[in-house]
Structure 1
Amino acid sequence: MLQSMTGYGKAFGTFFNKKVTVEMRSLNSKGTDVHLKIPNTYKAYELPIRKMIGNALERGKVECLITEESIEGKAKVSINTDLVVAYYSEMKALANEVGEESKDFLTTIMRMPEVLQAQESEISEEEWQKLKALIEEALKNITTFREEEGQSLITDFSSSINEIERLLQEVPKYEQVRIDIIRERMRKGLEKLTDGVDENRFEQELIYYIEKLDVSEEKTRLQHHLDYFRTTMNASGAMGKKLGFISQEMGREINTLGSKAYHADLQKIVVEMKDYLEKIKEQVLNTL
């Protein structure tokens, strides 16, 4: 099933007297880019967590935030006494040197970096398994979100593909008119250069010229790419890159049609095709 790279998933649970929340957001990216913010308590499991996210989401810029909150409302912290004493001595010495009256420095010192430290303890295997279950639940939720967004992408893709196909079916009505315009333009040009025109030679040259401007192959290839795009977007797995390649091939055929148009209405059709193709390309960038 087609998925978007945009998603959101959340899970939370309570164990060992604390509430743990896992929150994930993802955006489009060429590869897998995981930004992880977790408590120091779980730092030892950073690599397994990254691996879980990378395997589950495949592509995208993913932000994962894991927080823990004590249910008892009491955080386990300690004061770095050696650091406090060092700060106090330095601040008191500085005050004496500049001639300022000594004040209560403790209020300021307690706000200094690394004075208050959270007490860390190794988590048990049981706690890791519970955290792992929360991460899996959050990944499941974000995947569901991405699948729902993927359905919206399929709807938008189908609409644009159908419009390009409709415009492609309008091309044949201008092909004969375009040949007549080219014939008339060439005849007028020759009449300005010479008094008489060898009709047989003129027709031979005209056929040679028109063959170069034939768009039959471009129409056939473009229709093939449209059909292939439909098949691919309904296939399973990550198809974003493949859809990107197909849209590039569609662009080549549309550009060639434009270069061979030689008719105002046909040029308008090509411009409309390009407009729908740009919409497809923008959405492909957000497709897994």
Structure 2
Amino acid sequence: MTGFSRESESFKWGTLSVEISSINHRYLDVSIRLPRELSFCEPSINDQVRSSLRRGKVRLSVDVTWPSDLLAVTVNSDILKNYYYQIQKIQEDLHISDPINIVSLLHLPGVTDSPSNRQDMEKEVEQALEDIVRKAVSSLQVMREKEGAHLEEDINTHLSSFHGFLNNIQNRWINARDEAMVETRERIKKILEENGPDLDEGRIAQEIALMADKWDISEELTRAESHIKKFQSILKSSESEGRKMDFLIQEMNREINTIGSKVTDSDIRWLVVEAKTALERIREQVQNVE
């Protein structure tokens, strides 16, 4: 489900801001953007988000504003001198007289370090960031729950439509079944009249049984009804069961497809199309449910 949240808090060592958003996705896809100096926090933040959310494409970004006394980096003079003397010696060996730009040496590994004060407070910063992320995720969940209520209402509407189409199919099938049985009897009677005693009655009985099984949809209707009841119980549950609902939609779709392949009655076939449309609308919404 979609949602957005932003939390910000100031401390004596700076200000932390966290933005988190989510859009619909079948699985949980988490992307975290942190300032380089807070990259050490990524594993704990990732675990925190994944333990709270189960579905959605989640994007979390963190910004930090440091006070001026924590922005200045420290220069390791011993390492800088070592670089300088090494380069000077190489220039002498190669007879190069160009002056050495000491500023250009500041980018070499080990010459500059993050402010020592900032390194000392890593634990404090990490704990503060986890607390703000927790608040942001909680606010995001509130927004997602509001959307979830609208989703539930919409899903229930389409589920009721599907149930209605299923009842209409069952009512129509009772009449169609009787009509098909009358037609079958008439055909058998005609065959018997034309072939007389030479016809194998056992084979006829076997063929009748096969025909009855082919167009009998009572089992499919019963299973579809059972899937609807299970789906309704999951909707009322407080647990996140999006994947179970997705599975049940697939099973209901399987039953309605089988019904469509078994019957030849045009009215029932049209009801099957309508029922599949209702299921597709439910399936689209279920993709958004945790």
Pairwise TM-score range, normalised by the shorter structure: 0.7 to 0.9
Name the counterpart of 2:175: 176
1:9 to 2, 5, 8: 5
2:158 to 160, 167, 190: 160
Name the counterpart of 2:37: 41
Alpha-carbon distance change, 117 to 125 in structure 1, aligned in 2, over 3 angstroms: closer
Larger Rg: 2
Name the counterpart of 1:26: 22
What is the deviation of 1:271?
0.5
* Matched residue SS, 1:238: coil
Map 1:53-92 to 2 at 5 A: 53-70=49-66, 76=72
Question: CA RMSD for the aligned pairs?
Answer: 4.1
Q: TM-score, normalised by structure 1?
A: 0.74
Name the counterpart of 1:93: none
Distance in structure 2 (CA, Å) of the matches to 1:167 and 1:257? 12
What is the deviation of 1:243?
0.8
Greater mean deviation of Cα atoms: 42-51 or 264-273: 42-51
- State the number of aligned residues: 271
Alpha-carbon distance change, 73 to 257 in structure 1, aligned in 2, over 3 angstroms: farther
Alpha-carbon distance change, 196 to 40 in structure 1, aligned in 2, over 3 angstroms: same
- Which of the pair has the greater relative contact order for Cα pairs under 8 Å at 6+ separation? 1
What is the deviation of 1:276?
1.0
Unaligned runs of 5+ in 1: 87-115
Greater mean deviation of Cα atoms: 15-24 or 164-173: 15-24
Distance in structure 2 (CA, Å) of the matches to 1:177 and 1:122? 81
Distance in structure 2 (CA, Å) of the matches to 1:153 and 1:229? 14
Distance in structure 1 (CA, Å) of the matches to 2:159 and 2:130? 42
What is the deviation of 1:62?
2.0
Name the counterpart of 1:283: 285
The one-letter code sitting in structure 2 at the alignment partner of 1:163 is: S
Alpha-carbon contact 2:172-2:268 (below 8 Å) kept:
no
Name the counterpart of 2:135: 137
Name the counterpart of 2:102: none
1:269 to 268, 271, 280: 271
Distance in structure 1 (CA, Å) of the matches to 2:276 and 2:241? 22
* More helix per residue: 2
Distance in structure 2 (CA, Å) of the matches to 1:204 and 1:128? 75
Alpha-carbon distance change, 193 to 179 in structure 1, aligned in 2, over 3 angstroms: same
Q: Deviations over 1:29-78 (max 9, x none)?
A: 42x43211112232222211111111111333321100012466995468
Greater mean deviation of Cα atoms: 267-276 or 116-125: 116-125
Greater mean deviation of Cα atoms: 12-21 or 72-81: 72-81
What is the deviation of 1:133?
1.5
Alpha-carbon contact 1:23-1:66 (below 8 Å) kept:
yes
2:48 to 47, 52, 71: 52
The one-letter code sitting in structure 2 at the alignment partner of 1:145 is: M
Distance in structure 1 (CA, Å) of the matches to 2:206 and 2:42? 74
Alpha-carbon contact 2:4-2:20 (below 8 Å) kept:
yes
Name the counterpart of 2:259: 257
What is the deviation of 1:192?
9.7
The one-letter code sitting in structure 2 at the alignment partner of 1:242 is: K
Alpha-carbon distance change, 130 to 74 in structure 1, aligned in 2, over 3 angstroms: closer
Distance in structure 1 (CA, Å) of the matches to 2:206 and 2:49? 66
Distance in structure 2 (CA, Å) of the matches to 1:77 and 1:179? 89
Q: Deviations over 1:256-288 (max 9, x none)?
A: 111122111100100011111111222222221
The one-letter code sitting in structure 2 at the alignment partner of 1:216 is: S
Alpha-carbon contact 2:74-2:114 (below 8 Å) kept:
yes
Alpha-carbon distance change, 205 to 132 in structure 1, aligned in 2, over 3 angstroms: closer
What is the deviation of 1:165?
0.6
Distance in structure 1 (CA, Å) of the matches to 2:196 and 2:257? 35
What is the deviation of 1:123?
2.4
Distance in structure 2 (CA, Å) of the matches to 1:275 and 1:240? 20
Name the counterpart of 1:215: 217
Distance in structure 2 (CA, Å) of the matches to 1:57 and 1:259? 40
